[in-house]
Structure 1
Amino acid sequence: MPRATRASRLSGLLASVVLLAVAAVGCGGSDSGSSSSGAKGPDPSSAAGAFPVTLDHKYGRTTIGSEPQRIVTVGLTDQDAVLALGKVPVGTTEWLGGYRGAVGPWAQDKLGGAAAPAVLTDTGTGPQVEKIAALKPDLILALYSGLTEAQYESLSKFAPVLAQPKAYNDYGVPWQQQTEEIGKALGKEAEAKALVSDVEDEFAAARKAHPAFAGATAVMATPYEGTFVYGSQDTRSRILSGLGFSLPKDLDKVIGDTFGANISKERFDLLDQDVAVWILPDLTTAVAKLHGDKIYADLNVVKQGREVFVRETGDYGNAVSLSTVLSLPYVLDRLVPQLAAAVDGRTATEVKQPAS
């Protein structure tokens, strides 16, 4: 999910936008001494009493002066936390699935009677600044993103921007912090904490029901441009660690400072864990191709039937990739039985694929 710096052709547009929308500005520029610790100010019982609120992030601090009403999500999964907290964004950024408003089926009911959000795209050049400006936002969320500092500064000229937390890799914010930071930005901190607690209870129940998960090792991968393995800060890997699994010891050393990376066949040992979860384009041809690699097929995880296969297209695979406060309960209902079968040595090809 690479992001490039903002093209210079937007500078003229931004100058005109500033004249129209500068009153909406409530955010500071870069502050190299800032941290990602969260809100500064009162812990109110109502949204109205929460503001102004100042939040730290990768590029400094952003102050939100009043309760946001027109929210645009640049972060590819940020919309779910907004919806869970009772707000409907005016704009979302498309990533997976082609859903109405870029809102998955696990969250569609949160739209209520509101119009679906306008859907923005990111083709590799960064956020669509012109279209975002046209939506007249009073808050732009970019927590699950690879927003650059130049893009942050550009967007900050016409609305407060909450960028990704400083403490994590790009696209590495945990769903818990994502939800709670957005809750603070919307004046709903207590409600956000309650939502997080409810989902964490579901993880705890799964761990209790499946004690074999504790101490077992697991890895998640996909055949994207080779063999792509997700690191410990990726949302998909966090599902496994949240269920009690341990990730490969050398995983982040090999992957580096990113959410994941391709590995060579010399490092296929990273795949030879108690469980290997594969996100695949299909469950027939892709599995056959995977097992056609003699080096991979000779691993114990294959020979002992401890693989899990998830089709990347469709609701289930999309929910795994998003891994939000709303999609995770949907994921756990489907993934936990597959993981339990794999730990027992019954590969996912022998377990009925969950309905999408």
Structure 2
Amino acid sequence: MSNQYQRLAKLCLLMVISSILITACSQQVVQTTHFSSQIPSDCRVVQHVFGKTCVPLDPQRIIALDPIFTLDPLIALGVEPIGFASYNGSGEEVLLGVSFDEVEGAKNVGDAGQPSFEKILVLKPDLILTTDYGDDEQKYKLLSKIAPTVSVPNESHLSPEDYENKPWFKENLRFVAKVLGQEAKSEEVLRQYQNRIEALKNRLGNQLHQIEVSVIFYGEGYIWTISKGNYPVSFILDDVGLRYKSVPYGEWNLSIETISEYDSDILFIVDVDKRGASFYLQHPLFRDLEVVKNNRAYVVSQENWRSGGISGANKTLNDLFKYLPEDE
């Protein structure tokens, strides 16, 4: 009997959600996939991978469905979303580049890959920011029935050449700022970032041209490092003018035998599995490295170093300010 009640409850819930979606669809001023030539005067037209969207001029109830490409730039622009998605694949909620303290008061609507449409509906957003990795058109169509939805470009949309040479975390900020009509604010944020880069150069002085940096990620059953462009840290190190060890595009994974090749002047170990500093500094893979013996190996968080947005880039810079300069 209880199973019959459960099936009946699920059926009722499905009917309610379908009714709300149909109502939202009928109330939508402009369809994003079938853009009308009649453009309302109280919206901003944004072109993206799925077409055009009529975005409210001053959206107040924004949901960000990707921590890196939508939530990170919102926080950098000083915009407080009402909802956000996290990465939940490891069994815990994870944000990259943004802390949970920075979204206090906002509702978590589930995993970025499969957010809860029920939770999104309840929040009554007036703008949804999502991103696309090549298979999200159906999700986009459903979201656009709830509220105006913009698909924010990500690094997968770039050619390998652009991927390695264009600091895409800066362009990501500019795109989201354009959606919101906050282009001037984005340029201010980028100027502040550049000022911090110059300040770090000055702090390093002669050390700038004397040290080489390595970055190793450890976790999820893999050990890997950076290539040019695959994390903002490579662009940050380029901006500072530091030498760093890297691998060709797509060859990120390292073997146990090659760890010694990353015995540089300074080593950052990104603690993906959250094991703590003592685990790595006493680990047979690392403890015999000269950089560890010289106390220039530092364990840092994936939230700051595995990010892809300007907020995360600034948190990476925080660590560089903390660990790179050495009293001469």
Normalised TM-score (structure 1): 0.65
The residue number in structure 1 matching 2:107 is 118
Structure 2 gaps of 5+ residues are 1-10, 35-40
- Asked whether 1:87 is paired with 2:82, we answer no
Distance, in Å, in 2 between the alignment partners of 1:51 and 1:141 is 16
Give unmatched runs, 5+ long, in structure 1. 1-8, 31-48, 256-261, 345-356
**Counterpart mapping for 1:282-321 below 5 A:** 282-289=276-283, 292-293=284-285, 301-302=291-292, 306-310=296-300, 312=301, 318-321=303-306
Structure with greater proportional strand content: 2
Following TM superposition, by how much is the alpha carbon of 1:323 offset from its aligned partner in structure 2, in angstroms?
Answer: 6.1
Contact 2:233 2:313 (C-alpha < 8 Å) held by counterparts: no
1:21, 1:158 within 8 Å by CA — same for their partners in 2?
A: yes
- For the structure 1 residues 253 and 118, does the alpha-carbon distance in structure 2 shift closer, same or farther, using more than 3 Å as the test? closer
**Residue 337 of structure 1: how far off its partner (Å):** 3.0
The alpha-carbon distance between structure 1 residues 204 and 52, as it changes in their structure 2 partners (threshold 3 A), is same
1:340 matched to 2:328: no
Aligned to 2:171: 177
**SS of equivalent residue, structure 2 residue 277:** coil
Q: Deviations over 1:188-215 (max 9, x none)?
A: 1111221221122112221233253458
Q: Structure 1: how far apart are the matches of 2:108 and 2:134?
A: 18
Specify the code of the residue in structure 2 equivalent to 1:90. Answer: I
Are residues 1:24 and 2:14 paired? Answer: no
Partner residue of 2:117? 129
Query: Residues 83, 268 of structure 1: CA spacing in aligned structure 2 closer, same or farther, 3 A cutoff?
Result: closer
CA distance in 1, matches of 2:279, 2:44: 54
Aligned to 1:349: none
Shift of 1:230: 4.2
Determine which of 223, 231, 240 is the counterpart of 2:237. Answer: 240
Alpha-carbon distance in structure 2 between the residues aligned to 1:93 and 1:276: 32
Please say if residues 219 and 237 of structure 1, whose CA atoms lie closer than 8 Å, have aligned partners that are also in contact: no
Q: List aligned pairs for 1:206-225, cutoff 5 A.
A: 206-211=200-205, 212-213=207-208, 216-225=212-221
Identical aligned residues as a percent: 22
Asked whether the 8 Å contact 1:72–1:91 carries over to 2, the reply is yes
Quote the residue 2:225 is aligned against.
229
Higher helix share: 2
CA RMSD of aligned residues (A): 4.2
The one-letter amino acid paired with 2:106 is P
How far does the alpha carbon of each residue in 1:142-181 deviate from its partner, in whole angstroms, 9 at most, with x for none? 25989733333332332233324155469x8843223222
Question: Which protein is bigger by CA-based radius of gyration?
Answer: 2
The one of 238, 249, 252 aligned to 2:249: 252
Distance in 1 separating the partners of 2:184 and 2:308: 21
C-alpha distance in 2, partners of 1:196/1:275? 27
Alignment partners' CA distance in 2, 1:264 and 1:272: 14
With over 3 angstroms needed to count, the CA separation of the structure-2 counterparts of 1:276 and 1:86, relative to structure 1, is closer
